[in-house]
Each structure stands twice: as structure tokens, then as C-alpha cells.
A and B are shown apart, each in its own frame.
Chain A
Amino acid sequence: MNLRTNPRGRLAAALLAALAAVTACTSSGGDGPGPRPSDPPAETARPGVLRILAGSELQDLAPVLEDARKATGVTVQFSWTGTLDGADAVSSGRADGKYDAVWFPSNQYLRLDPAGKSKVLSETPVMVSPVAIGVRSSVLGDLGWGDGSKVTWAQVGDAAAAGKLTYGMADPSRSNSGFSTLVAVASAFSKADGALAEADVQKATPQLKQFFTGQKLTSGSSGWLAQAYSRAESGLVGALVNYESVLLSMNRTLSPQQQLTVVRPVDGVVSADYPLSLLSAAAPDQRDAFQRLTSYLLKDEVQKRISETTLRRPATVGVAPAAGLPTDRRRELPFPGTRAVADGLLASYQNDLRRPSRTVYVLDTSGSMEGNRIAALKSALGRLTGADDTRGVRRFRNREEVTLVSFASSVKWSKTHVVPATGSQPGPQDELAAINTDVQSLAASGGTAVYGSLEEAYRVIERQQAAANDDRFTSIVLMTDGESNSGPTDSDFKRFHDGLPAWEKSIPVFPIKFGEAAVNQLQGIADVSGGKLFDGSGSLDGAFEEIRGYQ
């Protein structure tokens, strides 16, 4: 209990704070040394600063939070992560003391874990958006779906099975939009009355497999998915599964032919309600800041602004949603009530339901990799062959074809493994162990021929595709710690890429920057191929794991 007897004392405190602000302003002549929203969250709590671990889509709230800072004095500092990874960080205690609050599209996965549940003291939904299917308008017409307002999940599944609907969807092991989609289709196809049980997933397996034959793009983040959609040729990707708000926001910049019609299946949706959540471990000052921020965000006029800025629906009664947001209602499909069912569904998706992957790793084993670097590479790749991965976030999946290409001045060797399907004899474990044996045999020596080795990876894929004639998510990872100093140059590679057939052109390359790698070369490769550059200099483990969402 605090006793305050002198109201003037408090005035003095406020004035001293104002004085400090003015002093800061005059001495540095800039914005002052105070905490800024763009700063990374500090290790320790600071007054008036709320350190929030959040989903990256909340970047669109920046202007609202800037106004919130002016109105409430609370500065929000974000650290970005995926919803499911974020839930792990909270449950495991890794967020304790480092963050004061979390803000994900949904806390449902977090709350499946009793440990995670007890870490959250208070949560308030700030805005709502259902997961929906954005269908290219021309495709909508071909499917005979009218204005899209009466479509069921069964129709969506049938269209995918018949090859009439192709779509991109984020990786459900990482992203809440992907996970919500998986839950929605599993519920709809199994006709489960209530929350999904393991038997429901089994029952729906044939239909789910058919539905996922239509998935042509996968992604660890919704931002990259949107880019990949805009880039893809119109015949390749006819739709995107994402939050209604993301799809509507994309329409603001997409060309007329690429415009998306938002379809919310009439038999039910799963919605994100973006609960701003205070962690139990937060200090009193941060709790206070949390309350101030939450009340601000729920004000009528702020809710209106949020809806107009983000195209999510308001969470305060009586506030009209932004123009263009549909107002008809949909049944909310129940979310699994246990972690076992949720993780089982994710494991099925990765190992059995989705199209399998063809994954090629082009690995720099030049002389400069000697010592710690090659050890780090072996450890990062070796982790992908481990078994301790309940929701399928890391390990090579059943049915995945994995090729390792070791290169220096030229390709030293390339080895291919196919992880057996679930239920095969011998099972996946033996093959995973064999991959790890190859990984551990990597040895450093020689120069660096980045482009030549990359071109070889395309030829490997050509041969594999010709031999198997199968249907896989195909991608290349390129890890290097130096500049290309032998073989073809970047302009040679561009010419090579231009000459590839369309299906090979659409194979994304994910370069990993490590050591003294030439960032401009790697960024160029990502841009030409429609991939994405990853930074392995902080944690090579992390980069290899993150890329799994795109493979």
C-alpha cells in the first residue's frame, strides 16, 4: 500500500519528468536518449515501456501505437516471432522478465499448454479477423462460385482435388493463419460436432490430402506469401489462404487482374482476435502501462481507426467496421481442446497430408569453413534429422526428398535421401540417421564456386523430376561463408536462370549469409529466384530451422 499525502508532490514529480525530457532534448538536439519504439526490447524493464513479443503482422499498427504513445506515454517495443514459436517461448519461461506482454493473433495454442496458461495474467481482444480464402477473380468465375458468398469447405476441397483451385498457405507449424486453416478444414471435412479428436482427423484424412494437393505455395511468414502470390504466373496460384484483413489489405496494391475476392466458407471459420496479453511476471509499472494502453486501444475512436488502418474488425461494441468489411456472420469452428490433438494434427499435416517436398541444400565446404564454421553447419543440419520435434517444426518430413550438395571450387559430392512414409518398414528413423551420417562427413577445403554449384543444383532437380515425374514443393537452400571466386559469375547465373523452363524458374532459392558471405550476391540470387535471404551469422541453427517453413 502506498500512502500519498501531498498532491503537490506528485505535481513536482511530473514537472521533474517534463524537465528531464526538455533537458534531454536540448543536450542531444535529437529525439533524446529515451526509449524509442524502433529500439529492440531491453533486457530489463523500463518505466513507460512495454516490451511485447508479437506476431509480425502487427507492424500495421505502428501509426496507432505512435498515437497511443502520445496519448498514454506508453512506448511499445516489439520483438517479432511466429505465433506457435512465441507460445513455446512463453510456456518454457524464456519470455519471463524479457517481455512484459505478448500479442499474437490468438492465444489458443499458448493455452493448450498448462504451463503457458499460467504465464498469462490478463488478456483483452483488440481486433478480430477470420481466416478466409482470397480467390483470384477470374478463378472465381471459372469455378462458378458467383460472388463467393455461399461457398462451403466441401466445394473448396472438391475444386482443389479437381485441380481447379491452387493456393498458397502459410506453414501451420509456425503461423496462426496456417494452423487455423488446418483446424477449419479438418473440422469441416470430418463433420465433427465439437472440438476435433484424433479419430476425426483420421476420418478426414482422404479429403484433407485432396485439399492439400492444391497447395502450391508454403511459407514461414505471411509477408513472403503475399510477395510470392504477386510474383507467380496467374495460372500457378489461384488463391491465398490468410486473414480476411491481410487479403483485403493486399487488394489495396494488387493489379486489377490479381484482385482477390474474399471467400468465408458458410460452414464455418476460425477467427483471430488478437488478445493483448499481460504476462504474470510483469512488474507493477508495466502492469500499469498495460492497463493504460489497453484502455486506449479499446476507445471507440481508436477502434474505428484500427479497423480503417488494418481492415480488422473492431472489438468494441457499437464501433462500425471499416468500409468493405463484410458484416454477415459465420459459425466459429471450435479449436482443439488438447495439445495432443493439436500437435497430432500438425504432425499429420507435415508427414502425411501435404504435398511432399524436394529439398536441395547447396553447402559451402571451402577452406574458410574449417573449424567452428563447419562444426556449426553440421550441428544446424544435424538438428533437422532429430526426432524430438512434436509439432513438425524442424525435422525432415516423412516422404521428403533431401539432397545434400557439398561444394568448394566445384561440386565435391551430392547425395540424395528420401525419408520413408509413415508406417513404412524400415521407418523414417533409419533414413534420418543416414542423412545425419552424410552431414557429419562434410569436410572443409578448397575455393568457392557459388554460382556454378547453384546451377548444378538445378540440374540435380531436373534429373530427379524427370526420373520420378512427381508433384513436390521444390526449393533450394544455399549456404556460403564467402564470395564466389571461381566458376560462373552473377551475370552468368542470371542468363542461366533466364533460360530455364517456367517450372524451374519458379523454384525459390533461400540463401543463408554466414561469415564473410557477399550479401549483394546472395540477395541477388534471392531476388532472381523469388526466394528470401536469411542471416545465419547470429544463429545458423535458427536460420536452418526458419527456412523449414518455406520448404
Chain B
Amino acid sequence: MKRGALGAVLILALLGWVAYALIPEGGNGGSGPATVTVTGLIGSEKRNFFEDPNVKAELKKKGLEVRTDSTGSWTMSEQAKSTQGLDFAFPASAAPAREIQQNWGLKDSPLVPFYSPLVIVTHKPVAEILKQNQLAEHDDGPKGVWTFKMDKYVEALTAGRKWKDLAGSEKDPELTGPVFVSTTDPDTSSSGAMYVALLSYIANGNQVVQDDAGVDAVRKVLVTANGHQGMQKISSDEPFRDFFAGVGTLVFAYESQAAALPLQGKDTGDMVVMYPDTTVQSDHTLVARTDGGRKLADALQNDPVLRELEAHYGFRPQADQEAFWKQLNGKSPQFAPDLRKSGFKQATLPSLENLTKLTTAAKGGSPK
């Protein structure tokens, strides 16, 4: 009975509040602009950013409440066709963005608020073995930048080199089987597709693959690199999380995924970030379908507070080249302050048509 009485009191009290709350607000007394809810699909590597309360608060100041579902960038272009009510899609690179744009019948060029190069994460002892075998280099000094030698790596793939062939590997029982980099599924995820693009560029003599003859020339190395991995994960968040749970030796990841950790005070153990000497850059490209989506793109690109938050999640804001290093200077592990000054070359990405042929080839599919 006691509970009944208490319930009645609560109901009365709540009804009072509801009555108050339902009174329409007079004039323009409210603070800030009207809030627009925008819904979109994002690559999983941006999920933590969009879930950060500070990001939400800053977007709110701009009158935006953003709802997202995270998925692989290429899965996204499939999903974007069928999902209703999307205001935007935000894949991790330009190619799926272009496809989504075509599917949505959009003309204006999408914005790239921030970018991030692809890196290879591994454990310190493994990096040392790679260095000892000329597969990696390390700048002088205790905290120098690590470089992963792509041409040597392609050589190792072609020659079928195994860990036991490498000097110094006997100390580490984990190192068995062939030397290879683990990636996401190039059919569903941008980072996996960019790995295929990068390998094909190196294997093609540092030239972008432009025709079927080029696809044939790199087929063997792609099949080897892909075959070593077996089943791959759908999006970049997964292999990265798995790496820290002890799964995977050399893992292809966005620099942002690795950089976000020290910035958020996380212990990264013996993780080392290696920059491929020729790398590819992921241009996080926002395809806006509605005004709300365009407003979001604009805020991410131009709002200084948001740019700082982007850098806090390890991204490199397009409109503020300093922001990334300002936050990472002095942090461990070591990151590259400026990609161009550090001498990293950029691979040219193949056309969408050729990229599709290359991923098909990597998976053992026949030409055409």
C-alpha cells in the first residue's frame, strides 16, 4: 500500500512537471538555434569521434544532433542505396564517396574535412626484426619515426619469405608462417581496398595500374598477399581492436586509430607505428544529401573547436595542417609530424573500375 501512495504522489508531481514542460516557450527565449537531427553512415574508425560528448556538444552549438551507424566504407555504398532517410554518408576515402554520390544523383563536390595516412602497427620486437632484415628503418634517436619498406615487402611476398627466414625471429615464438600484413576485406572496407591499391602500385614499378595488362602484371603478388590472410574483417575497427587482444602481427590501420590512443591517455604497450615509405592517404569524404548533411560537412571543415577535436582523435584536419602535430608532439609512440617533409611518397590511386578489377584479382577471381 505504501508503494501505491508513493506512486500517486509521484504521478501528481510528474504531471505538474509535464504540464509545465508542455507550455510552449514564448518568443525567442531559448538558447541557441533550432536543433536539426541528421542521420548518416560513417566508417567505423570515426565512431569514437562522433560519440565524444565534447563533439556532440560542439555540434549542438551549431544546431546539429548527429546520429550515425558505423560500417565498412564499401558496405556503406551498398547500404546507402537501400537505407531511407539518410542525410549523409562519410566513408574513409574518395572512391566509395564518388560511388555514393553517383547513386544519390548528386553533383556538387563533397568535402574532405580531414585525412589520415595508412600505417602498419606492430609490436616493438617485431619491428626490430624487420629492421634487422632491411624491411623497416628507424630514424636515429630513441623516439625516431619508423618506416616500412614497401619494395622490400613486395619482394618478400613474391619470394614467399617466412618469419623463420628472417634473422632474429627465433626469439619470438609468435612469429611463424609467412610474413604478411593483415587488412580488412577490400570488398567491404576502404582500408583493405587501399592496401590492394598500394600493393599494386609498388608491384607495378611505382606506377598506377591503368589497364588489364597492369592488373595481370600484379595479380600474383595480390593473390599471395590476400591468400595469406584468409577471411578478413568487415571494417577497420575490428582488426585494430583484435591487435590489442593479441590477434595479428602486422596490421594495416589508419594513423588516426593509433594516434588517438596516446592522445586519450591510453597505454599502447609496445605498439610501434610504421609508415610505409610509399603510402596512401585516406581522405575522409563527407557526401551530403540534405541541407543538414551539408551543414555538418561545413562545421567539421571550418569550426576551429571541431578541428581541434578531430586532431584529438588522430585525424589531420585539411584546413589546419598544424593541428595534428600540436597535439602529438612529445607523445609516444612516435608519429610523423609532416608526411611530405618526412619524405613519404604518395601512391596514385587507380580508377574505381581498375580498383574493382584489382580486388577481384586479389581474391583469386578471373579477369573479367
What residues of chain A have their CB less than 8 Å away from a CB belonging to chain B? 1-9, 11-12, 15-16, 18-19, 22-23, 25-26, 29, 107-108, 111-112, 117-118, 120-125, 127-128, 130, 150, 193-196, 266-268, 271, 273, 275, 278, 280, 284, 287-288, 291, 295, 313-318, 327-332, 334-337
User: Are B14 and A18 in contact, CB atoms less than 8 angstroms apart?
Assistant: yes
User: Are B176 and A331 in contact, CB atoms less than 8 angstroms apart?
Assistant: yes
Bound-state Cα–Cα, A120 to B234, Å: 9
From residue A509, how far is it (CB to closest CB) to chain B in Å?
39
Does B18 count as interface, using CB distance less than 8 angstroms? yes
Measured between beta carbons, the chain A residues less than 8 angstroms from B214 are none
User: Are B245 and A314 in contact, CB atoms less than 8 angstroms apart?
Assistant: yes
Measured between beta carbons, the chain B residues less than 8 angstroms from A335 are 230-231
User: Are A332 and B248 in contact, CB atoms less than 8 angstroms apart?
Assistant: yes
Given the known inter-chain contacts A122-B70, A194-B229, A288-B67, please indicate yes or no for A330 contacting B174, CB distance below 8 A. Answer: yes
Measured between beta carbons, the chain A residues less than 8 angstroms from B134 are none
Given the known inter-chain contacts A4-B34, A22-B10, A123-B238, please indicate yes or no for A317 contacting B261, CB distance below 8 A. Answer: yes
From residue B17, how far is it (CB to closest CB) to chain A in Å?
5
Given the known inter-chain contacts A1-B87, A275-B238, A280-B79, please indicate yes or no for A268 contacting B230, CB distance below 8 A. Answer: no
Measured between beta carbons, the chain A residues less than 8 angstroms from B228 are 193-195, 334
From residue A517, how far is it (CB to closest CB) to chain B in Å?
43
User: Are A4 and B69 in contact, CB atoms less than 8 angstroms apart?
Assistant: no
Measured between beta carbons, the chain B residues less than 8 angstroms from A295 are 51
User: Are A195 and B230 in contact, CB atoms less than 8 angstroms apart?
Assistant: yes
Measured between beta carbons, the chain A residues less than 8 angstroms from B227 are 193-195, 337
From residue B173, how far is it (CB to closest CB) to chain A in Å?
5
Does B268 count as interface, using CB distance less than 8 angstroms? yes
Measured between beta carbons, the chain A residues less than 8 angstroms from B224 are 194
> Beyond A6-B25, A317-B268, A332-B247: 14 further Cβ-contacts under 8 Å?
A1-B37, A1-B290, A4-B36, A4-B37, A122-B235, A125-B241, A125-B245, A127-B245, A130-B246, A195-B227, A266-B174, A275-B238, A317-B267, A336-B231
From residue B53, how far is it (CB to closest CB) to chain A in Å?
11
Given the known inter-chain contacts A23-B7, A329-B174, A331-B177, please indicate yes or no for A16 contacting B241, CB distance below 8 A. Answer: no
Does B4 count as interface, using CB distance less than 8 angstroms? yes
Does B109 count as interface, using CB distance less than 8 angstroms? no
User: Are A23 and B231 in contact, CB atoms less than 8 angstroms apart?
Assistant: no
Other-chain contact of A111, B25, B176, B231 (Cβ < 8 Å):
B231
Measured between beta carbons, the chain B residues less than 8 angstroms from A313 are 245-246
Measured between beta carbons, the chain B residues less than 8 angstroms from A19 are 11, 14-15, 18
Does B138 count as interface, using CB distance less than 8 angstroms? no
Does B175 count as interface, using CB distance less than 8 angstroms? yes
Does B178 count as interface, using CB distance less than 8 angstroms? yes
Question: For chain B residues 174-233, which have a beta carbon within 8 Å of chain A?
Answer: 174-178, 185, 188, 224, 226-231
Question: What are 29 contact pairs spanning A and B, CB under 8 A?
Answer: A1-B290, A3-B36, A3-B37, A4-B35, A4-B37, A8-B21, A8-B25, A15-B17, A118-B78, A121-B75, A122-B235, A125-B242, A194-B224, A196-B230, A267-B176, A273-B238, A273-B242, A287-B69, A316-B241, A316-B244, A318-B244, A329-B123, A329-B174, A329-B249, A331-B174, A332-B247, A337-B227, A337-B229, A337-B230
Total count of chain B residues near the partner, CB < 8 A: 74
What residues of chain B have their CB less than 8 Å away from a CB belonging to chain A? 3-4, 7-8, 10-11, 14-15, 17-18, 21-25, 30, 34-39, 44, 51, 65, 67-71, 75, 78-79, 82-83, 85, 87, 123, 160, 162, 173-178, 185, 188, 224, 226-231, 234-235, 237-238, 241-242, 244-249, 261, 266-268, 290, 292, 363
Considering the complex of A and B, which 10 residue pairs feature the smallest CB-CB distances, nearest first?
Answer: A334-B230, A195-B230, A26-B7, A12-B21, A318-B266, A194-B227, A128-B245, A335-B231, A2-B37, A194-B228
Given the known inter-chain contacts A121-B71, A194-B229, please indicate yes or no for A273 contacting B247, CB distance below 8 A. Answer: yes
Measured between beta carbons, the chain B residues less than 8 angstroms from A25 are 3, 7
Measured between beta carbons, the chain A residues less than 8 angstroms from B261 are 317-318
From residue B138, how far is it (CB to closest CB) to chain A in Å?
21
User: Are B230 and A291 in contact, CB atoms less than 8 angstroms apart?
Assistant: no
Bound-state Cα–Cα, A7 to B32, Å: 11
Measured between beta carbons, the chain B residues less than 8 angstroms from A7 are 30, 35
Given the known inter-chain contacts A26-B8, A121-B71, A273-B247, please indicate yes or no for A193 contacting B38, CB distance below 8 A. Answer: no
User: Are B247 and A12 in contact, CB atoms less than 8 angstroms apart?
Assistant: no
From residue A203, how far is it (CB to closest CB) to chain B in Å?
16
User: Are B8 and A122 in contact, CB atoms less than 8 angstroms apart?
Assistant: no
User: Are B241 and A329 in contact, CB atoms less than 8 angstroms apart?
Assistant: no
Measured between beta carbons, the chain A residues less than 8 angstroms from B44 are 122, 124
User: Are A334 and B246 in contact, CB atoms less than 8 angstroms apart?
Assistant: no
Bound-state Cα–Cα, A16 to B17, Å: 9
User: Are B229 and A334 in contact, CB atoms less than 8 angstroms apart?
Assistant: yes
User: Are A273 and B8 in contact, CB atoms less than 8 angstroms apart?
Assistant: no
Q: Which residue of A lies closest to B228 (CB)?
A: A194
User: Are A15 and B21 in contact, CB atoms less than 8 angstroms apart?
Assistant: yes
User: Are B3 and A26 in contact, CB atoms less than 8 angstroms apart?
Assistant: yes
From residue B162, how far is it (CB to closest CB) to chain A in Å?
8
From residue A122, how far is it (CB to closest CB) to chain B in Å?
5
Given the known inter-chain contacts A118-B78, A334-B230, A336-B230, please indicate yes or no for A9 contacting B21, CB distance below 8 A. Answer: yes
Measured between beta carbons, the chain B residues less than 8 angstroms from A18 are 14
Bound-state Cα–Cα, A18 to B11, Å: 9
Bound-state Cα–Cα, A107 to B242, Å: 14
Bound-state Cα–Cα, A193 to B178, Å: 6
User: Are A193 and B18 in contact, CB atoms less than 8 angstroms apart?
Assistant: no
Bound-state Cα–Cα, A331 to B162, Å: 13
Other-chain contact of B249, A12, A195, A318, A331 (Cβ < 8 Å):
A331
User: Are A317 and B78 in contact, CB atoms less than 8 angstroms apart?
Assistant: no
User: Are B231 and A337 in contact, CB atoms less than 8 angstroms apart?
Assistant: yes
Measured between beta carbons, the chain A residues less than 8 angstroms from B30 are 6-7
Given the known inter-chain contacts A15-B17, A266-B173, please indicate yes or no for A22 contacting B7, CB distance below 8 A. Answer: yes
Measured between beta carbons, the chain A residues less than 8 angstroms from B51 are 291, 295
Other-chain contact of A328, B11, B22, B174 (Cβ < 8 Å):
B174
Bound-state Cα–Cα, A312 to B231, Å: 22
Other-chain contact of A315, B24, B174, B245, B268 (Cβ < 8 Å):
B245
Bound-state Cα–Cα, A472 to B38, Å: 62
Bound-state Cα–Cα, A8 to B235, Å: 39
Measured between beta carbons, the chain A residues less than 8 angstroms from B14 are 15, 18-19, 22
User: Are B79 and A121 in contact, CB atoms less than 8 angstroms apart?
Assistant: yes
Instruction: Determine which residue in B78, B85, B177, B246 has the highest number of CB atoms from chain A within 10 A of its CB, and name it.
Output: B246
Q: Which residue of B lies closest to A273 (CB)?
A: B242
Bound-state Cα–Cα, A130 to B174, Å: 14
Measured between beta carbons, the chain A residues less than 8 angstroms from B21 are 8-9, 11-12, 15
